[in-house]
Amino acid sequence: MAQEPYRAPRGTEDLLPEKVRIYRKLEEEARRILEVHGYREIRTPFFEETRLFVRSIGEVTDIVEKEMFTVSRGGESSYSFRPEGTASVVRAYLEHNFHKRRPFQKFFYIGPMFRYEKPQKGRQRQFWQIGAEALGSSDPRLDAEMILLVLDFFERLGLRGLEARINSIGDKADRDRFREVLKEWFRPKLDDLCPLCRDRYNRNVFRILDCKVETCKELRRGVPEFLDHLSPESLAHFEAVKKTLDMLEVPYRVDPSIVRGFDYYTHTVFEIPYEKLGARSALCGGGRYDDLIAELGGPSLGAVGFSIGVTPTLIALEMEGLLEEVSPGGRPDAFLVPIGPEQEDEGFRLAVNLRRAGFAVLFDHQGKGLRARLKLAARERCRAALLLGEEERKRGVVKVRDLDRGEEMDVPAGPELEARLLSLREEARAGSEEGAP
């Protein structure tokens, strides 16, 4: 009986070289923007004690109840692969005593998250996020900064015309009051809600506001809004956020339906939607979580953050025809083409020396002929082909063929060859910058 072939686990994918190139471009753009704004990269473990996520995200959430990958070995603690990044960053912030040494910190992270969801387009069980956290301050200008830099990131990728959807859900006292308002409003409609929302009614009524079932969306028409039940202090914070966004000319719209799904959120919450994705249109979500540091054992300090979904971002880029613009980086400088078997060793030595000098040089190890190697150089999008035959070797030169222009010249091996390759690299870079949006 034939053995079933091995495949990647359901809800995961192999990132093949071409896709890795695109991921790296997104990561490079994110790092550039975040570092300009003073954020420093942090890398936390892929798994944490389960109780960290239960305490931070909330026990009555879909993620904690149904979607975490959790393991337990013997008498040890239960561990779960991280379903999101904020809790781990706050845990690291406290464990390494930043709250005592220098409370205000700005971190960012890039990496995989894990949720046991039903795989579908734009949703996987292992997925990548780009996120940032500003810890130790309640300044509303940080809320605006988060929204600004995310929109700048998407603008750099070519996704123009996006706007932020923002709302405020106040502090704990605001939510306690509003919880009773919602329960009273939904009580007559309880039998018409979907089964999940009927369960949410007693356990976490705010989650009804985020339900994507059409029946529940219709039943929510006219539902009371958080903004009408905020304390003067909470309303002042939200007004300060809007004032800063207006000052910076950041496009946004107040959307009372934005509540976010985690228990740790307070005050400002926001999403950046791309409407063509349909019901789950958010490319990015975030907000303030002023109680979380204290909830995890630290002092009462403000915090705000966001996470960008890499998968929906790639889908949006593809729908806009922008993937080619995002992914052209990483061109090799040259393909070393020995002419004749007697030049193979000398050609390989030259390729190694050029690599040591910092150039990306490809070399054929399959014994292909001259024509096949030149085709391979073109397919790999090399800037140049370096041809080395007996005549070139005797004269101490290398024939450099510019594969973009079709021009060819003999260049002495050594510093002049390196200078020529560097010139081709700079010309290509200047050309790409001229054509950039």
The pLDDT score that the predictor gives to residue 89 is 97
Q: In this structure, what token pair is assigned to residue 357?
A: 């000098």
Name the pTM for this structure: 0.85
b/e code 165-175 from CB counts within 10 Å (16+ = b): bbbbbbbeebb
The pLDDT score that the predictor gives to residue 437 is 46
User: Where would I find the beta strands (DSSP E) of 275-375?
Assistant: 282-288, 303-309, 334-338, 361-363
- Rounded CA-CA distance 372/376 in Å is 6
- Rounded CA-CA distance 309/131 in Å is 9
Q: Domains of the chain, with CATH numbers?
A: 17-171+231-325 (3.30.930.10), 334-434 (3.40.50.800)
Helix (H) or strand (E) holding 19: helix 17-36
The pLDDT score that the predictor gives to residue 329 is 58
The pLDDT score that the predictor gives to residue 261 is 65
Give, for all 437 residues of the chain, the pLDDT tens digit: 678 899 999 999 999 988 998 999 999 999 999 999 999 999 999 999 999 998 888 765 666 767 889 998 777 789 999 999 999 999 999 999 999 999 999 999 999 999 998 888 878 999 999 999 999 999 999 999 999 999 999 999 999 999 999 999 999 899 889 889 989 989 998 888 998 888 888 878 887 887 878 888 888 888 898 888 899 999 999 999 999 999 999 999 999 888 876 678 899 999 999 988 877 789 999 999 999 999 999 999 999 999 999 999 999 999 999 887 766 556 899 999 999 899 999 999 999 999 999 999 999 999 899 999 999 999 989 999 999 999 999 999 999 999 999 999 999 999 999 999 999 988 877 665 555 54
The pLDDT score that the predictor gives to residue 324 is 74
- Rounded CA-CA distance 98/142 in Å is 19
SS3 66: helix
The pLDDT score that the predictor gives to residue 1 is 67
